[in-house]
Structure formats: C-alpha cells, structure tokens
Structure 1
Amino acid sequence: MAKIVVMGAGLGGMSAAYELRETLGKAHEVVLVGQGESFGFTPSNPWLAVGWRKQDDISVEIAKHVGKRGIRYDGSGVERIDAEANAIVTGKGERIDYDYLLISTGPKLAFEEVPGSGPDGGFTQSVCTTQHAAHAWQAYQAFLENPGPVVVGAAAGASCFGPAYEFAMIVDADLRKRKLRDRVPMTFVSSEPYVGHMGLGGVGDSRGLMEAELRQRHIKWIVNSKVTEVRDGEMTVVEHDGKGQPGEAHVLPFKFAMLLPAFKGVDAVAAVEGLCNPRGFVIVDKHQRSPKYPKIFSAGVCVAIPPVEATPVPTGAPKTGFMIESMVTTIVRNIQAELQGETPDYQGTWNAVCLADMGDTGAAFVALPQIPPRNVTWTKIGKWVHLAKIGFEKYFLYKMRHGTSEPIYEKYSLGLLGIERLKDVKRAS
C-alpha cells in the first residue's frame, strides 16, 4: 500500500485528493494537509467582497466531506518538508511519511513588497483568499457610507490579473445598482504593459475589448506601472517606459483600494534545497514531477512557469482552473502508472481558459497553449460568460461537497465555449 500526501487544500489540492481516491481505490492511503478547516471557492471572492455572496455560500467544511471518501485531513498546515527522508512535519508537530507528495499549496502573498499594502496592517484590500474577501466586504460597507475615489489593480510581479479586472468592473456594476457610481472616480493600475495583457501577452483582441470596457465604465487606467507605496488614503504609482525606466509618478487618493500582490512560494516549500526557483515556486518537468525529488509532484499556482514574455515591469504567468485540473490529472495518472509498474509518461496541457465576470457581463479568454505560438487565441465578451461563471461556482462547490473527481473546469468550459468555437478548442486540446 502506498501513502500519498497532498499538501494544500485549495482548488488543486481538493481536486487531487478526490481524484487520487477515485483512481487508486481504497488500496492506497490519501492524506490531505491544509491550513484551516474550510475550503473557499477562490473565483467567487470578488462577489463576496461586495456582498453578492456570503462566506458560507462559497465555503465547504473539509474534514466532513473528504472523510466520507476515506481521506484523512489535517488542518494544521505543513511546518517542514524532509524531502530526503520522504516525510513532512505538520503544524501540530506530527511527522507523516509519504511514498508520494503532491504539493498544491497555492502562493504566499507578497504584500511586503509594496509598503503599506495588504489587509493585515496595510491600507488595501485583497480578494486572494475567502478571509481577505470577507474583510474587504466589511471595509466596502464602511466605504458605502462615505463613498469617494476607488483604486483597483495589481502590483509589479503579479501573475493573476483576471480578479483585478473582475473586481473593478463588479464594483462599477454594484455602485451603479446602488445609484452611487456618479460619486466614485475609479482608477485601474497594473504592471501589465497594456490593458488586456493578462500576463499572457494578450489574447486575441483582449487589448481593444478590455480598453473599451474600461472606457465605457468611466474607469481610468495606469499601466506599465509599479505601486511603490500605499499610505492611509493615497497610493503612489510610478509609470515606466518601454525599457522599464521609471517615469511619471502619480499620487492617487482613495477611499477604498484593492491591490493584488505578487506571489511567492510558501515558506515550507521554498525552504527545500533544490526544489524551487528563487521565488519559491516548485520546478517540475513535463510530467509535473520534481527533477531532484522523484517522489514529489506539484500542481497549481505554486508551480514554476516562466513568464510568457519579458515585460518592462515584471509580470508573471497565470495558472487558471482549466490548467490546474490538467496538472492534477497528469500527476494522478503518473502515480497510478508507477504503482502499476508502468512508465509514468503522462503529460498534461498548459492551456489558459479564463472566464472573468464583469458584474453584468463577462469576458472569456482562450489561449491554447498558454505560451505562444498558439493553436487558438481569442477573447469574447457577453452575458453568457457571467452566467457561465455562476455555473462554475455551483458545479465546483457541488464537486467539493460530493467528492466527485469530475473535471468541472474542462467539461463546462469546453461546453460553454462551444457556443463560439468548440471544434477549434477541442482540436487544440
């Protein structure tokens, strides 16, 4: 019997635990180690931050649901990985040996790289975690009592731009519903070289479409920029030229601000010698396996992926739900093959399929594969994307509560995108 430890209980880790259990059967032990007792559906956080969802709506009690599938759960986190001895040490001091370790922790949020940012002691909000989004909702309610300028965006080195665009446009839609939009100047700030870059070098006509959306919603933007400091009620944003040299500095006042940080690897993972790149992201081969530690696999945001292209201000490459599911399936099939004495040579596809909600409409970004040249690249905007995002939320939470390993992102994104280009998407995948 093999013991597989899954480190991280987010989108990737929960999916991995269920898929391992279903694929390998009860002959092997699956242990899930996360931080805290509940799973929060991260893509719904922008809705939570403006009161369109309650925390309980998008949360799942982990131990209760994974326990039904014979998966042991430890919510104390991982304090240390002893990769040489194939073991982890949990936050409560328990040492757990493993035959395979699947790391899917998500990122460490590097708020410290922008002084004054972040919800814990800083002056900006975040939608990176369910707890942060709940905190943002409290701040947003206070803001509604005395509205004023809003700044939304992403710091230098960020690799997840979709939620910043989503949140800016969801706030715009919410304020229009409340008849307060005319009292709120809005500015979008980003390290992207242009609006709609998304860390992907643009997708189809994403630049033109996203600029049009911001313009129509009266949201100003400052791109190719770094947020250098945040103070109580104001933010310093420095524009850069095409060579990355600093130029004009803007001091933006705000009554409410949400800034996505750059990501790093979590401490316990980054501390393992030879496992990660300098930012602490896990280095993997085409089979999602560590080249140095063959018993360690990794999936999700914690994986090292090079930027799609060099940009004047640093930007990272995003990892979407579609890609994370592919990584998880790759790992599970390779572990299964190895346990059966076969060659573990399964490879996933690093495709980017992102559905971004805009409050009353939405944008679909498709880049197959993520790194150019691509077989398929396009962006579409429509009400159907908004409805699709709601569908994703419901189906993924169903998946978490009922223990299915069904690839929700793949199934429903291919089906919904089929409205536009199903044959092209399937062929490229």
Structure 2
Amino acid sequence: MAKIVVLGAGTGGMPAAYETKELLGKDHEVVMVNERPMFRFVPSNPWVAVGWREPDAIVLPIEKYLAKKKIGFICARVDKIDAQNNQLITNENQTIDYDYLIIATGPKLAFSHIKGAGPEGYTQSICTLDHAQQCNIDFEDLMANPGPAIVGAFQGASCFGPAYEYAFILDKALRDAKIRHKVPIHFVTSEPYIGHMGLGGVGDSKSMLESELRQRDIKWICNAQVDEIFDGKMHISELNRKQEIDFTHELLFKHAMFIPPFSGVDAVANVDGLCNAKGFVITDEHQRSTKYPNIFSGGVCVAIPPVEATPVPTGTPKTGYMIETMMTAIAHNLKSIIVDGKAPHAKGTWHAICLADMGDTGAAFVAMPQIPPRNVAWFKKGKWVHLAKIAFEKYFMRKMRTGTSEPVYEKYVLKALGIERLEDDGK
C-alpha cells in the first residue's frame, strides 16, 4: 500500500486529493495536511473585501468532506520537508511519513520586499481570506470617510487579474454608495502596459482594459516601482524601457490594495535542489520534481519562467484552468506509477482561461498556450462573465463538498465561453 500526502488544501490541493484517491482506490492511503481546518475559495476574496460576500459562504470544513471519501486529514503547519527520508516535520515536531508527496502549498506573500507594504504596513491585500476581511474593515472606513484610493500590483507580482478585479469592483461599490466622486482612484502596476497581465497581453486586452479604466475615470501608472509606503502616502518611480527613472510620483491615499510578489513557502524553498532561486518547485512536463521522483507539485508553487523581460519585473500567472489540469495530471501519473507500474504520461495544460469580475460586468480571456506565440488569443467582456463567475463559485464549492472529479473549468467555464474543450496540450 502506498501513502500519498497532499501538502496544502487550496483550490489545487483539494481536487488533487479527491482525484488521487478516486484513481488509486481503497488499497492506497491519501492524507491531506493543511495548516488550517477550513478550505477557502480564494477567487471570491475581492467580493469579501467590499462586503459583497460573507466569509462563511466561501469556506468549508476540510476534514468533514475528505472523510466522506476516506481521505485522512492532519491539521498542522509543516516547517520542514525531509525529502531524503520521505518525511514532513510539523511545527509541533510531529513526523508525517509519505511514499509520494504532492506539494500544493501556493505561494508565500513577499510583502517584505517593499518597505511599508502589506496588512502589517499600510496597504491591504485580497490574497488570503484573512487579508480580505481586514481589507473590508479598511474599505468600510473609506466609505465612512472618503478619500483617494490606489489599487495595483507591486514589482515582481505575477498575479494581476485580482488587482484589475478589485479596482473595478471598488469603483462599482463606491458608485452604488453615491460617493465615487469623493474617491479618486489610481491603478498602479508593474506591467509595461495596461492589460499585459504577466502574459504579454491577450488579444485586445490592452485597449479594452484601458477603455474600461477611462470609462470609470481610473487613472493609471505602468512600469511602476513602488519605492516606499508611508501612512497615507506612496512613493513611486515610473521607469522607461531602459529601466531608468522617467518620472517620480507621490500619491496620497486613504485606501490602498496591492498584489505582492510571490515566493515559495519556507518549508518548500529550503529543500535542497527542489526549487529555483525564488523557492518555486522545479518540475518536468509531468509535474514531477526533477530531483525527487516521488515528489509532484502543481499550482502557484511551481516554477514557470517569465513570458518576457519587462522594465519592472513581472512574473507569469498560474491561472485556475492550468492549475486544475496540473492536479488531474498528477493524479493520473500517480496511478500510472503505483497501480499500473508504468512511467508518468499525463501532462497539465499551459493554456490560460480566466473570468475576471468587474462589478456589474466582466472580462474573459483565453490564451492557447499561455505563453506567446499563441494559437488562440481571445479577450471579451460582458455581463455574462460576471454571472459566469458567480456560477463558477457555486460549482467549485459543490465540487469541494461532493468530492467529484469532474473538471469544473472544462465543464462549466468552457461551456460559458462557448468552447467544447481544449485538445492541444499547449506546450
């Protein structure tokens, strides 16, 4: 009997546990290890931040639902991975043995790279549910005492969609409250142009998102390097293509929300030979570690090179559809190894599919493959995207409760986009 441990119960780790158990069956053990007892649906955090969604609506007790599928659960923080001895060491010095390990921890939020950044400094975040709840408190203060707002993504960020989402959602919330005229908004981003999104743009994303920002009277600064943040004041350098400072800005703010750069969590990053310099897991095309053959990894914690060099550093996002296919590939590869006695064969896709809410409308894009040049580059907007994202939350939470292995993106998101399926692996 093989023991498979899944480290991290996020939007990648939970499906990985369900699918692996389903494929391996009762003769093999699957155990989930997570620092918190609750699953949290991260894509809905922007709604929590403005009070459009209650936190209880996007959380589930992990152990209760895993137990229905005969999957074990250990609620503990892992401080060390002993890859040589196939063990995890928790903060309470508990040892967890494994035969195979699936790393799905997500990222470490590197606010420390920018002085004054993050919830412990002077800016808000929507990267975790706790941060979104804290952001909501700051948002409510903005509603009571209006003033300037800044939304954006710091240098080194690789996840730009939520920053755009929050800017548009914030605008809608302020208009609904009839106080938008009291809150000037700046969008500040490390991207070389609006709509780059760490992907080199997708279709007409540049002109479309610029138009949406203009319509909402949201001003923007690109190639932005945030130098330091003080209470109510942000110092920004705007770089040119030669990476020279072209302009400097000093923006005042009452409310600021920024996406930070990501790095690997310490327990993963500290494993010799497992990760790149930023702490992201280096895998082959089958999501398998290039150094440790019994370790697999998928999601935001894996290493993907930047699409291109930009004046201010930007990373490449790992979107939901890509993550879903990575985890499915891992489950099938473990079956090949453990049950069938064969080499791994399944591959995750490098396509990108994203639904971004914009308050009362939304934007959707498809990039096949994610890194250009592409076979398909498609970007559209409409109220249907807003509704599709609401529906997607419902379907994904249902998947977490039922433990079904149905591919949510392929079954529901592609259907909403009018796409049958994506056949090409995109690499």
Question: Do the structures match in fold with TM over 0.5?
Answer: yes
Q: After superposition, where does 1:188-199 map in structure 2 within 5 Å?
A: 188-199=187-198
Tell me what 1:292 maps to: 291
Q: Is the 8 A contact 1:103 1:298 kept in 2?
A: yes
Tell me, in whole angstroms, the C-alpha distance in 2 between the residues paired with 1:118 and 1:411.
Answer: 36
Q: Amino acid of the residue matched to residue 387 of structure 1? A: L
1:413 aligns with 2:416: no
Q: 1:410: Cα distance to partner?
A: 2.1
Q: Deviations over 1:232-285 (max 9, x none)?
A: 001111100002222211011000000110000000000001000000000000
Q: After superposition, where does 1:58-97 map in structure 2 within 5 Å?
A: 58-97=58-97
Q: Amino acid of the residue matched to residue 76 of structure 1? A: A
Q: Amino acid of the residue matched to residue 226 of structure 2? A: V
Tell me what 1:98 maps to: 98
Q: Is the 8 A contact 1:375 1:428 kept in 2?
A: no
Tell me what 1:50 maps to: 50
Give the TM-score normalised by structure 1: 0.97
Tell me, in whole angstroms, the C-alpha distance in 2 between the residues paired with 1:99 and 1:403.
Answer: 23
Q: After superposition, where does 1:189-338 map in structure 2 within 5 Å?
A: 189-338=188-337
Tell me what 1:36 maps to: 36
Q: Give the match's secondary structure for 2:311.
A: coil
Tell me, in whole angstroms, the C-alpha distance in 2 between the residues paired with 1:113 and 1:389.
Answer: 32
Q: Deviations over 1:134-164 (max 9, x none)?
A: 1111111111110110000000000000000
Q: Is the 8 A contact 1:77 1:90 kept in 2?
A: yes
1:426 aligns with 2:422: yes
Q: Give the match's secondary structure for 2:12.
A: helix
Tell me, in whole angstroms, the C-alpha distance in 1 between the residues paired with 2:91 and 2:70.
Answer: 22
Q: Give the match's secondary structure for 1:157.
A: coil
Tell me what 2:19 maps to: 19
Q: Amino acid of the residue matched to residue 165 of structure 2? A: E
CA 1:92–1:67: 2 relative to 1, 3 Å: farther
Q: Give the match's secondary structure for 2:26.
A: helix
Tell me what 2:349 maps to: 349
- Runs of 4+, deviation exceeding 3 Å: 425-429
Q: Deviations over 1:154-210 (max 9, x none)?
A: 000000000000000000001111101011100000000000000000000000000
Q: Give the match's secondary structure for 2:155.
A: coil
1:127 aligns with 2:123: no
1:392 aligns with 2:392: yes
More off after superposition, 399-408 vs 46-55: 399-408
Q: Give the match's secondary structure for 1:81.
A: strand
Tell me, in whole angstroms, the C-alpha distance in 1 between the residues paired with 2:67 and 2:146.
Answer: 46
Structure 1 unpaired stretches of 5+: none
Q: Is the 8 A contact 1:325 1:410 kept in 2?
A: no
Q: Amino acid of the residue matched to residue 402 of structure 2? A: H
More off after superposition, 106-115 vs 74-83: 74-83
Q: Deviations over 1:12-64 (max 9, x none)?
A: 00110111111111111011111211111100000000000011011111111
Structure 2 unpaired stretches of 5+: none
Q: Give the match's secondary structure for 1:305.
A: coil
Tell me, in whole angstroms, the C-alpha distance in 1 between the residues paired with 2:410 and 2:109.
Answer: 27
CA 1:316–1:363: 2 relative to 1, 3 Å: same
Tell me, in whole angstroms, the C-alpha distance in 2 between the residues paired with 1:69 and 1:274.
Answer: 34
Tell me, in whole angstroms, the C-alpha distance in 2 between the residues paired with 1:204 and 1:283.
Answer: 29
Tell me, in whole angstroms, the C-alpha distance in 1 between the residues paired with 2:227 and 2:319.
Answer: 28
Q: Is the 8 A contact 1:65 1:401 kept in 2?
A: yes
Q: Is the 8 A contact 1:80 1:88 kept in 2?
A: yes
Tell me, in whole angstroms, the C-alpha distance in 1 between the residues paired with 2:250 and 2:332.
Answer: 51
Tell me what 2:160 maps to: 161
Q: After superposition, where does 1:344-383 map in structure 2 within 5 Å?
A: 344-383=344-383
Tell me, in whole angstroms, the C-alpha distance in 2 between the residues paired with 1:296 and 1:343.
Answer: 14
Tell me, in whole angstroms, the C-alpha distance in 2 between the residues paired with 1:57 and 1:278.
Answer: 37
Q: Give the alignment's Cα RMSD to 1 decimal.
A: 1.0
Q: Amino acid of the residue matched to residue 232 of structure 1? A: D
Q: 1:92: Cα distance to partner?
A: 2.6
Tell me, in whole angstroms, the C-alpha distance in 1 between the residues paired with 2:251 and 2:238.
Answer: 13
Q: 1:101: Cα distance to partner?
A: 0.4
Q: 1:427: Cα distance to partner?
A: 5.0
More off after superposition, 69-78 vs 1-10: 69-78
Q: 1:97: Cα distance to partner?
A: 1.3
Tell me, in whole angstroms, the C-alpha distance in 2 between the residues paired with 1:108 and 1:426.
Answer: 31
Q: Give the match's secondary structure for 1:189.
A: strand
Identity of aligned residues (%): 60
Q: Give the match's secondary structure for 1:221.
A: strand
Q: After superposition, where does 1:106-117 map in structure 2 within 5 Å?
A: 106-117=106-117
Q: Give the match's secondary structure for 2:93.
A: coil
